[in-house]
């Protein structure tokens, strides 16, 4: 089969299409014919060599995929064979075939196209895990979503709205703020304004119950300070690159909590609870409660511009690659191709 290999880290990384051996599904794993691969800020950080884990090159990039299950390994769920799934592959997704643990697969609704399916799993499972499991969110609560036009942020807006919350989103540009409003945010705040917190609380007329924070940096402390008593600040990630330090007198004075959210750790160590989470997610999709954003779809040759777009905060919404190994293979080196990505703003 054909696969993309990362040969060395960098900005851009060195990438090449190779002919390689099809992976065999191990115990509890599914072999999946890949139809689409979601790309996110995580891929930009990992392939740039800036992530805490650094797989030894060569390796297959991409983690989030959609496709059809071809086979399962020993102990894997045979009911998955033939099904369309969204899945997380820790062994790499940008290949004609990929393997993922059966319990990391979500059977996708029949009317969901592969591109949308490849865009939902990580962001929606993380956001549902954050808000319901970690944050104990209830209907009527007010949720502030930082980085609301990012992958996790956009899903968190949808989940918070779907769970009956009042959603405030914060982002950095007019276009991103408009996107947040279109996703269901009642209020969208530009956190490039140094007085954004005051402007937000004045317009809201009250405090925040939950903060979904996939950004970190200088935004976390003012967001935490916006919490009402009993509030929960959900630490999801550090897209800004800087890990903030919150003085511990703040949780005491605010009677508010800082809660760590690690869906990756949860899915690996608590498979039964993760299965229940994925079933709940599927119910929310089936009932029409959630309305995932339509992703932008790109060929494999757009990977480098997409990674660049994430690094430079130009991406709005979620891009997905539909791997076209047959045609892209002629160019051999993805890294040397120049290809515009239509979804990026100038
Ligand atoms: N804990 C978990 O289980 C879990 C699961 C999935 C992802 N994550 C983490 O969550 C974070 C966000 O992931 P994502 O997929 O939502 O990323 P994303 O799509 O790139 O969105 C991140 C957002 O952060 C904002 N941002 C602020 N400063 C930035 C900077 N210097 N560089 C890039 N973005 C910046 C951008 O919005 P503005 O331009 O509007 O500020 C951007 O839209 C990552 O750290 C990821 O590793 C954690």
- Read out DSSP for 186-222? SEEEETTSTTHHHHHHHHHTS-EEEEEES--GGGHHH
The domain covering 2-107+295-336 belongs, at the CATH homologous superfamily level, to Medium-chain alcohol dehydrogenases, catalytic domain (3.90.180.10)
Contact 310, 338 (CB under 8 A): no
Q: How far away, in angstroms, is 46 Cα from ligand 1 center?
A: 13
Of all protein residues, whose CA lies closest to atom 31 belonging to ligand 1?
240
Closest-CA residue to 75 (of 25, 23, 32, 22): 25
Tell me the pLDDT band of 326, cut-offs 50, 70 and 90.
Answer: confident
Tell me the pLDDT band of 328, cut-offs 50, 70 and 90.
Answer: low
3-class secondary structure, 341: coil
Q: How far away, in angstroms, is 202 Cα from ligand 1 center?
A: 27
Percent of the chain exceeding pLDDT 70 equals: 95
Q: How far away, in angstroms, is 72 Cα from ligand 1 center?
A: 33
Q: Which residue has the tokens 């499972």?
A: 125
> Which pLDDT value is given to residue 96?
97
Q: Which stretch of DSSP H or E encloses residue 225?
A: helix 220-225
The closest-lying atom of ligand 1 relative to the alpha carbon of residue 266 is 3
Q: How far away, in angstroms, is 237 Cα from ligand 1 center?
A: 7
Radius of gyration of the chain (CA): 20
Is the pLDDT confidence value at 289 over 70? yes
The closest-lying atom of ligand 1 relative to the alpha carbon of residue 215 is 24
> Which pLDDT value is given to residue 181?
97
Percent of the chain exceeding pLDDT 90 equals: 90
Indicate the top mutation candidate among 43, 129, 220, 313 to test ligand 1's pocket, ranked by most ligand atoms within 8 A of CB. 313
Q: How far away, in angstroms, is 41 Cα from ligand 1 center?
A: 6
* Start-end of CATH 3.90.180.10 domains in the chain: 2-107+295-336
- Phi/psi for 186 (5° steps) reads -75, -35
The closest-lying atom of ligand 1 relative to the alpha carbon of residue 219 is 27
Is the pLDDT confidence value at 341 over 50? no
Closest-CA residue to 2 (of 16, 20, 15, 25): 20
Longest dimension (CA), the chain: 62
| pLDDT tens track for 40-80 | 999 999 999 998 889 999 999 999 999 999 999 999 999 99
| Rounded distance between C-alpha atoms, residue 6 and residue 307, angstroms | 13
Number of Cβ within 10 Å of residue 294's Cβ equals 13
Tell me the pLDDT band of 209, cut-offs 50, 70 and 90.
Answer: very high
| pLDDT tens track for 118-177 | 999 999 999 999 999 999 999 999 999 999 999 999 999 999 999 999 999 999 999 999
> Which pLDDT value is given to residue 52?
84
Q: Residues lining ligand 1, judged by CB closer than 6 Å?
A: 40-42, 122, 126, 147, 149-153, 171-172, 176, 214-215, 236-241, 261-264, 310, 313
Of all protein residues, whose CA lies closest to atom 30 belonging to ligand 1?
240
Q: What's the mean pLDDT when you consider all of the chain?
A: 93
| Rounded distance between C-alpha atoms, residue 202 and residue 214, angstroms | 24
Of all protein residues, whose CA lies closest to atom 22 belonging to ligand 1?
150
| Rounded distance between C-alpha atoms, residue 186 and residue 166, angstroms | 7
Q: Are strands 14-19 and 142-146 parallel, antiparallel or unpaired?
A: unpaired
Of 3.40.50.720, 3.40.1360.10, 3.40.50.2000, 3.10.25.10, which CATH number belongs to 122-265?
A: 3.40.50.720
DSSP string, 27-94: TTEEEEEEEEEE--HHHHHHHTT-SS--PPSSB----EEEEEEEEE-TTS-GGGTT-EEEEE-TT-SS
Indicate the top mutation candidate among 51, 88, 168, 214 to test ligand 1's pocket, ranked by most ligand atoms within 8 A of CB. 214
The alpha carbon of 319 is separated from its chain's Cα centroid by a whole number of angstroms, namely 11
- C-alpha distances in Å from residue 195, one per residue of 202, 233, 282: 11, 20, 39
Contact 243, 220 (CB under 8 A): no
| pLDDT tens track for 237-280 | 999 999 999 999 999 999 999 999 999 999 999 999 999 999 99
DSSP string, 91-160: T-SSBSEEEEEGGGEEEPPTT--HHHHHHHHHHHHHHHIIIIIIT---TT-EEEEETTTSHHHHHHHHHH
| pLDDT tens track for 186-196 | 999 999 999 99
> Which pLDDT value is given to residue 340?
32
> Which pLDDT value is given to residue 206?
84
Is the pLDDT confidence value at 331 over 70? no
For residues 210-225, give the mean pLDDT: 97
Number of Cβ within 10 Å of residue 35's Cβ equals 18
> Which pLDDT value is given to residue 9?
97
Is the preceding peptide bond at 41 cis, omega within 30 degrees of 0?
no
The closest-lying atom of ligand 1 relative to the alpha carbon of residue 153 is 16
Q: How far away, in angstroms, is 140 Cα from ligand 1 center?
A: 26
238 burial level (CB within 10 Å; 0-12, 13-18, 19+): middle
Is the preceding peptide bond at 58 cis, omega within 30 degrees of 0?
yes
């Amino acid at each position: 089969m054909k696969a993309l290999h990362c040969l060395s880290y960098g900005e851009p990384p060195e990438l090449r299409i190779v002919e390689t051996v099809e992976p065999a599904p191990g115990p509890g794993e599914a072999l999946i014919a890949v139809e689409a691969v979601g790309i996110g800020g995580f891929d930009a950080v990992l392939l740039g060599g800036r992530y805490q884990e650094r797989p030894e090159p060569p390796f297959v990039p991409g983690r989030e995929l959609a496709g059809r299950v071809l086979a399962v390994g020993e102990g894997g769920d045979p009911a998955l064979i033939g099904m369309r799934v969204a899945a997380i592959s820790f062994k790499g997704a940008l290949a004609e075939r990929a393997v993922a643990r059966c319990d990391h697969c979500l059977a996708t609704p029949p009317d969901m196209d592969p591109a949308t399916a490849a865009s939902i799993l990580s962001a929606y499972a993380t956001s549902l895990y954050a808000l319901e499991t970690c944050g104990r969110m209830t209907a009527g609560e007010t949720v502030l979503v930082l980085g609301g036009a990012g992958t996790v942020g956009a899903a968190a807006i949808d989940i918070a709205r779907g769970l009956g919350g009042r959603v405030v989103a914060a982002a950095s540009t007019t276009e991103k703020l408009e996107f947040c409003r279109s996703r269901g945010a009642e209020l969208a705040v530009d956190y490039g304004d140094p007085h954004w917190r005051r402007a937000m609380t004045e317009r809201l007329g009250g405090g925040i119950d939950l903060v979904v924070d996939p950004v970190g940096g200088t935004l976390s402390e003012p967001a935490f300070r916006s919490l009402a008593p009993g509030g929960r600040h959900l630490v999801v990630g550090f897209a800004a690159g800087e890990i903030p330090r919150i003085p511990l007198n703040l949780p005491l004075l605010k009677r508010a909590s800082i809660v760590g959210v690690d869906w990756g750790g949860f899915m690996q160590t608590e498979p039964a609870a993760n299965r229940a989470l994925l079933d709940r997610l599927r119910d929310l999709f089936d009932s029409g409660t959630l309305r995932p954003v339509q992703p932008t779809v790109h060929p494999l040759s757009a990977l480098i511009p997409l990674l660049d777009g994430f690094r430079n905060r130009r991406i709005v919404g979620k891009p997905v690659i539909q791997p076209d190994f047959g045609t892209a293979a002629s160019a051999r080196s993805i890294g040397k191709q120049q290809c515009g990505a239509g979804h990026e703003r100038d």
